[in-house]
Amino acid sequence: MRLVLALGNPGAKYRDTRHNIGWWLADRLVRRWCGGPFRAEGPTARAEGSRRPGVEIHKPLTYMNRSGEALTALLAARRFDPAADMLVLVDDVALPPGRLRLRRRGSPGGHNGLASISAKLGSDAYSRLRLGVGRPPDDRIDLAAWVLSRMPRADEEAALSAFPHAVEAVEYWLEHGMEAAMNRFNNR
């Protein structure tokens, strides 16, 4: 089994925020792979696509800061190796909107969702697709408030314009592994 874990926050209040860009991409993947709607299953919402059997897409329903709790439940119920079989979709303020970066491992870099996952796994050895949402234009803007706010239209359009590329990167990871996916997509 392969697992795509899209980080975000549940609820209408957060649906359109920068922090939920991983959920936006998860929705795109489900549509492309002819999947049904996401359905609550324990601490996640789960979907699969008929065009990608053996791949599950999950959205933790535990809020971003507790994403690792949802992963712990998945590990208890399924057989997979997070280092080899899981890809985390996550927002990244270090990348401008429209940019993405694949990584095989790495520190959470201040991202509370990744920190929660790393803490529960006891390791930073899991793949992630970092989706750019940009930095605040002013250092006085609180970073938490920034990621929990909506993007301006131009930034949102730039972020969404990268989704075909991001979908292709996820599919390439599934077929060829992270090293090959990084070599192909991180140089664009």
Are the CB atoms for 75 and 67 separated by under 8 Å? no
Q: Which of 19, 58, 111, 165 is catalytic?
A: 19
Give Cα separations from 176 to 58, 120, 169, 173 (angstroms): 21, 27, 10, 5
Local structure of residue 90 (DSSP, 8 states): E
Pairwise CA distance, residues 136 & 159, whole Å: 15
Are the CB atoms for 90 and 9 separated by under 8 Å? no
Would you call 19 a catalytic residue per the annotation?
yes
Catalytic residue list: 19
